[in-house]
Amino acid sequence: MLKAEIMPSISEILVIQTAFIGDLVLTTPLVRAIRRGFPYARISVLAIPQTADLLVGNPHIDDVILYDKRGKERGIRAFLKLGNRLRKEHFDLAIVPHRSFRSALLTALSGIRQRIGFNTSIGAFLFTHRAFYRKDVHEIERNLDLLLPFGIYLEDKNPEIFPSPQDQEWVAEFLWRNEIQASHRLVAIAPGSVWPTKCWPSERFAEVARLLFKKFGIMIVLIGGVADRQLCQQIAKALPSGVGAVAAGQMSLRQSAALLERCTLLLSNDSAPVHLAAAMKTPVVAIFGPTVPAFGFAPWGEGNTVVQKQLKCRPCGIHGGEKCPRGHFQCMKGISPEQVFREICRILQPRFGKH
């Protein structure tokens, strides 16, 4: 544990998380814990532009620093320039849940005196303190292990996002345009993923949506990014007229979170919307294929369910892939619409009753 006399001298803290959407959402409990442990410090978070919207309105964060590492700041010259910029901020402490060498090197180049990251980071030797990376717990709990040197503990580990009143108004207008009223029961479906092998077949999402409408009169809203819009439109066309609305590619991340807060449930592949819904305390039914919950990225919280098929070849990778290594894709094809529908009914029936 760090010496107690060091803690009061920490007034400028940098958290580095430049990974994907879900990774940043799962970092928010860590940020809240840092604020609890250092109530008077200035807390800054370094994030990429594609995810930074998730941090707007977060009361535990004083500053968001953008690093467009895949865009205009790509390359060594921009990286060194960022290091010089951070050095001028005079941070006392860097906390790095991201395990890339670039993130570790950035803390050293920035001249930050105390640097904490995971022992599994490629750049672990650049940290002054290394937390043991536990493989058998959720990512949220792993991230909080970075604060063990300070003796900081967080009881409420739920991730959080803070949509604004304007975000909520935008969602209300979207629903009104799609003739979805406040009295309508609404379920969100997120059928996309960056990785093709993480995607349950689109026709099966459509079948579950039809079953939900038939049994509960539920309206469907299809969510995702711009790249998911065509897929969502394809599913919407397979539904009865007026049942499915496509929000994919039309909303910011916080607007998507506000929409999920309005929904009774999210049905999703193992992808970022799972964590957006968990942050808004919306129940999740997540379909896992090539990946497994044991990796630590299952939906956080009670009342959530993971649907999966037990196979000897699972998991085949930590992220999924372009195609099934065995050629059969049974981890997804072996999950039927009826199986998923039953899991959804188990969550919804106590609320809606037997229709």
What single-letter amino acid sits at 235? I
Residue 337 clears pLDDT 50, i.e. is over it: yes
Q: Give the homologous superfamily in CATH for domain 4-150.
A: Glycogen Phosphorylase B; (3.40.50.2000)
CB neighbour class for 246 (10 Å; exposed up to 12, middle 13-18, buried from 19): buried
- Which is nearest to 200 in space by CA: 339, 293, 298, 318? 339
Quote the mean pLDDT of the chain: 94
Give the model confidence (pLDDT) of 213-272 as tens digits: 999 999 999 999 999 999 999 999 999 998 989 999 999 999 999 999 999 999 999 999
The pLDDT-based confidence of 114 (bands split at 50, 70, 90) is very high
Residue 291 clears pLDDT 60, i.e. is over it: yes
Residues sharing a CB contact under 8 Å with residue 212, sequence separation 6 or more, in sequence order: 187, 218, 220, 341, 344
Give the model confidence (pLDDT) of 142-168 as tens digits: 999 999 999 998 999 999 999 999 999
Residues sharing a CB contact under 8 Å with residue 335, sequence separation 6 or more, in sequence order: 200, 204, 287, 289, 307, 308, 309
Predicted pLDDT of residue 209: 97
Tokens at 8, concatenated: 């009061």
Give the model confidence (pLDDT) of 28-55 as tens digits: 999 999 999 999 999 999 999 999 999 9
Residue 94 clears pLDDT 90, i.e. is over it: yes
CATH node for 165-352? 3.40.50.2000
Q: Where are the domains of the chain?
A: 4-150, 165-352
Residue 5 clears pLDDT 50, i.e. is over it: no
Q: Say yes or no: do domains 4-150 and 165-352 share a fold.
A: yes
SS3 label, residue 5: helix
Spacing of C-alpha 340 from chain mean position: 22
1: number of Cβ within 10 Å: 8
Partners of 96 in the β-ladder: 117
For residues 319-329, give the mean pLDDT. 89
